[in-house]
């Protein structure tokens, strides 16, 4: 081609006409070079380069063809000057490189997609490693409380920059409590009814709120949200365990903000929720089995096995610290006669009522056990002998105030006999202290029942009787 300095086409072959979208050379020559530039700045750069260097080699640019489609070309041109040095015209060769450009773009896009895919894969592998690590620690938790601490720690790693909380349904299944939080979430309510959460009320799947002003914000989020919110139900073996709640900033739950990345974050949240739910279900099962193994099913008190294990643990501790341990053996007076008179249901009602009285009167560190039948044992860590005696006497008085009814019928006055001993005063082993307390109980029953007898270790087989009212 040849053009004037202002861009008017002077010559151009048929190939150039075809490249620029003309059916013949005549139409081509009626146009100017300026008509084809997509970016006018390319024309200015072209003129500047040819003015300073006298020629252009392989200058790449986008042109708009006559049919308005865009192509990419490579231009090599030079300035032809007259004898005075003035530019007479430009001449050059234009190559259509659209296919090459498209191939380059496709390769570049493929590389970018591959890089993104590798990054996503690495991120997911990292997340799965974190989930596995969290799961390892969760599985080793002996109690739900320990599991909540593990969740707080690992959730902050799994959802960086995102606040959140785990809510667990109560035993009564009418309330949900926040048991773990991270990132200072805007919760409003830490305890709420399950149906205040759309994830519970709806289909049981994740509930996403993208607009904080939406009417679909869960009722338990009473404080204004700063961004998106996500509630994921925690379900294990078909049982609803609670909610995993996440809060995002204006960019959503993922820093990139793309639909794919947000969906990936939701999938991660569902995966984490499933792990937490399964672990909580396992912990609940272990606690249930543990309770069944150490609790008396009728009274809810600890059983004899647990009492013996506790003494084996508490006695060495008391010896190291120089403390005493009070031991009270208790027998409900005339229980067999009570059973024969009122029936076994009445006997069970009495045992349950006495078990409840014991639970209400013991300290957190005390151990109240059903020793067997109508006999009970009360272990009082760090209780001096005289304090153990006084507490036994107070309990005896309260037993007399106990009123047991069955089907509206009062079952009469109940009394109890008690024997008191202490470690290490009356024995340096669990067996010897229990025997001393049991001997004191035997003396209390032999002397007429409804009394407390304290074992006198100095008097050998004798016992010291506490005055009755």
Q: Which residues pair with 454 in a beta bridge?
A: 420, 464
Residue 130 has pLDDT above 90, yes or no: no
Spot the catalytic one: 127, 266, 314, 374: 374
CATH of 302-465, one of 3.30.70.270, 3.40.80.10, 3.10.20.590, 3.30.2310.20: 3.30.70.270
Residue 462 has pLDDT above 60, yes or no: no
Instruction: Give residue 29's pLDDT.
Output: 92
CA-CA-CA-CA torsion sign (205, 209, 214, 217): positive
- Using one digit for the tens of pLDDT, what is the confidence trace for 234-274? 998 888 899 999 987 544 455 444 556 667 778 888 889 99
CATH top-level class of 2-96: alpha beta
Instruction: Give residue 215's pLDDT.
Output: 84
The pLDDT of 346-356, averaged and rounded, is 94
Tokens representing 286 are 């272990």
For this structure, is 393 an active site residue? no
- The answer to whether domain 111-291 and domain 302-465 are alike in fold is no
Q: What pTM did the predictor assign?
A: 0.56
What is the fold of 111-291? Beta-Lactamase (3.30.450)
Sequence spans of domains, the chain: 2-96, 111-291, 302-465
CA distance 167 to 90: 77
Name which of 175-179, 207-211, 444-448 the model is least confident about.
207-211
């Amino acid at each position: 081609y040849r053009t004037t300095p202002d861009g008017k086409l002077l010559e151009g072959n048929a190939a150039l006409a075809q490249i620029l979208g003309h059916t013949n050379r005549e139409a081509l020559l009626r146009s100017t070079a300026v008509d084809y530039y997509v970016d006018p700045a390319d024309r200015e750069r072209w003129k500047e380069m040819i003015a300073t260097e006298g020629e252009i080699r392989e200058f790449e640019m986008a042109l708009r063809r006559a049919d308005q489609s865009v192509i990419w070309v490579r231009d090599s041109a030079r300035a032809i000057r007259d004898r005075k040095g003035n530019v007479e015209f430009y001449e050059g060769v234009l190559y259509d490189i659209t296919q090459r450009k498209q191939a380059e773009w496709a390769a570049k896009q493929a590389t970018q997609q591959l890089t993104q895919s590798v990054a996503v894969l690495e991120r997911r592998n990292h997340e799965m490693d974190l989930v596995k690590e969290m799961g390892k620690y969760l599985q080793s938790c002996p109690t739900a409380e320990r599991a909540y601490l593990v969740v707080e720690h690992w959730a902050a790693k799994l959802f960086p920059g995102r606040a959140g909380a785990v809510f667990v349904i109560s035993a009564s299944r009418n309330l949900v409590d926040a048991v773990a939080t991270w990132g200072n979430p805007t919760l409003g309510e830490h305890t709420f009814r399950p149906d205040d959460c759309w994830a519970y009320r709806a289909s049981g799947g994740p509930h996403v709120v993208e607009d904080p002003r939406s009417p679909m914000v869960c009722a338990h989020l009473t404080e204004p949200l700063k961004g998106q919110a996500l509630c994921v139900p925690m379900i294990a073996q078909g049982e609803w365990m609670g909610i995993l709640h996440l809060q995002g900033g204006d960019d959503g739950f993922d820093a990139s903000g793309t639909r794919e990345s947000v969906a990936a974050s939701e999938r991660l949240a569902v995966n984490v929720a499933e792990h937490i739910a399964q672990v909580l279900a396992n912990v609940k099962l272990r606690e249930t089995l543990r309770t069944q193994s150490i609790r008396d099913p009728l009274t809810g008190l600890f059983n004899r096995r647990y009492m013996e294990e506790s003494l084996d643990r508490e006695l060495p501790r008391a010896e190291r610290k120089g403390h005493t341990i009070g031991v009270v053996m208790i027998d409900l007076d005339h229980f067999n006669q009570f059973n024969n008179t009122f029936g076994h249901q009445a006997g069970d009602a009495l045992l349950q009522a006495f078990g409840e009285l014991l639970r209400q009167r013991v300290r957190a560190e005390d151990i109240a056990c059903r020793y067997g039948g109508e006999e009970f044992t009360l272990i009082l860590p760090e209780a001096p002998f005289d304090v153990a005696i006084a507490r036994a006497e107070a309990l005896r008085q309260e037993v007399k105030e106990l009123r047991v009814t069955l089907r509206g019928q009062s079952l009469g006055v109940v009394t109890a006999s008690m024997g008191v001993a202490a470690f290490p005063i009356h024995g340096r082993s669990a067996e010897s202290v229990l025997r001393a307390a049991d001997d004191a109980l035997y003396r209390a029953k032999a002397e007429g029942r409804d009394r407390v007898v304290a074992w006198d270790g100095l008097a050998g087989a004798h016992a010291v009787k506490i005055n009755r009212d």
